Amino acid sequence: MKIQLLRMEDLGRNERARWRALQAANPTLASPCFSWDFAEAVDAVHDDVFVAVLEEDGVIVGFFPFQRRLGAGRPLGGRMSDHHGVVAAPGTHWHWGELLLRARLSYWQFDHLPAWQCPPVMVRHAASPGLDLSGGFEPWLQRKLAAGQSMRKLQRAMRKLERELGPLKLDLHSHDDHAFATVLRLKSEQCLRTGEADLFATAWKRELVERIRAIDREDFGGRLSTLHAGDTLLAAHFGMHTPQVWHWWFPVYNREFAPLSPGLVMLVETARAAAGEGHRLLDLGKGDEPYKSQMADTAMPLVEGLAARPTALTAARHLRKRVGAWLRTSRWARPALPLLQRLRGLAGWVVFVPDLQPLALFA
């Protein structure tokens, strides 16, 4: 297999068409995160995006987009990506060691890799839950109604919202700039409220979603959706889509009506509309939020881990990992942890938890 390392700008019309054809040929890669347009948008806001192009007998059989800094690799888009890996047709095989060598990577860390692409290393297994809409919305709804009382309770909440505020109205393809700004603001507030780093405090992440919002192709696009009851905004969502998948990315809701589950109402109504447009899956993304297990009835197997070559950088990474484990478990180091947390992101470096995660790599 020939592997060539290129930049996005080195790929022309033929490579773009081949990328899209390979993605379309593999149902496990239907997520918008595997799309050419997503990679192009990330490349527009980052200067460290590379693509390893895999060829056999002069024919391109795969694309491996990633970000690289000093030989250390991370998935394309970092935390903004809910799926990553090699874009290739089913049955395509490659050697991870050779791929890393040709990509000039000492290691590549992954946490949303399709299980079928698992390298021969120790990994943790995970899943991306979703709503199976392949048979339409009604079959999914009937499965949820038969599974317990939660859906009936939600239906009662929907009726109460309509009685008190007015008819429910979903705008699946909203162009409201104020609603878009509201999604980003409420998502930032949610991050801070739950103790997570503010996603949109970083300029490139905000620019990325703005770029994706501006894309409206049949095979990829950003989608802003809003749900009103009468004139009251109950919930909103910004996500992405391909012909097969509606990707649940940044949902927010009006906390004033939290007892009536406006976020779940938004999800159900979005599923109804997305199924009506022919989408076969509403992908919720990996995560342990209770609503995901409550609403999902299918899941995409994923793996988390590290593919690495025996280099000095890899050895340094393992050393940092051991030091990080000591910092987090030693009573002697515990007083310094608040300071370390405040220094996160200094000079582009960040402290991660030990285990399969590196101690320090990328902001």
pLDDT at 347 over 90: no
Task: Supply the pLDDT for residue 309.
Answer: 81
pLDDT at 239 over 60: yes
Q: What is the pLDDT of residues 324-334, one digit of tens each?
A: 665 666 666 56
* Separation of alpha carbons 192 and 131, rounded Å: 28
Element of type H or E holding 124? strand 123-132
Task: Supply the pLDDT for residue 160.
Answer: 96
pLDDT at 356 over 60: no
**Alpha-carbon dihedral 136, 295, 265, 195, rounded to 10 degrees:** -140
Q: pTM for the whole thing?
A: 0.87
Q: Dihedrals φ, ψ of 211, to 5°?
A: -65, -45
What is the DSSP code (8-state) at residue 198?
A: -
Q: What is the number of other CB atoms lying within 10 angstroms of the CB of residue 312? A: 9
Find the farthest-apart pair of alpha carbons in the chain and give their distance in angstroms, rounded.
Answer: 66
For the chain, list the domains and their CATH numbers.
Answer: 2-126+302-348 (3.40.630), 130-301 (3.40.630.30)
Q: What is the pLDDT of residues 148-172, one digit of tens each?
A: 889 999 999 999 999 999 999 999 9
Task: Supply the pLDDT for residue 336.
Answer: 66
Q: Dihedrals φ, ψ of 307, to 5°?
A: -100, 125
Q: What is the mean pLDDT of the chain?
A: 89
For residue 193, give the 3-state DSSP assignment: helix
Task: Supply the pLDDT for residue 188.
Answer: 94
Residues 6+ apart with CB under 8 A from 150: 144, 294
For residue 21, the one-letter residue type is A
Task: Supply the pLDDT for residue 196.
Answer: 87
pLDDT at 340 over 80: no
Alpha helices in the chain (DSSP H): 13-24, 36-45, 96-102, 137-147, 150-165, 177-193, 203-213, 262-276, 290-295, 312-329, 337-342
Task: Supply the pLDDT for residue 194.
Answer: 87
For residue 126, give the 3-state DSSP assignment: strand
For residue 76, give the 3-state DSSP assignment: coil
pLDDT at 354 over 60: no
In terms of Cα–Cα distance, which of 135, 139, 137, 3 is closest to 60? Answer: 3
pLDDT at 360 over 80: no
Residue 343 near residue 355, CB atoms below 8 Å: no
Q: What is the number of other CB atoms lying within 10 angstroms of the CB of residue 4? A: 12
Q: What is the pLDDT of residues 269-325, one digit of tens each?
A: 999 999 999 999 999 999 999 999 999 999 999 999 999 887 766 656 656 666 666
Q: What is the pLDDT of residues 91-121, one digit of tens each?
A: 999 999 999 999 999 999 999 999 999 999 9
**Mean pLDDT on 203-227:** 97
Q: Distance between the two ends of the chain, CA-based, in angstroms?
A: 34
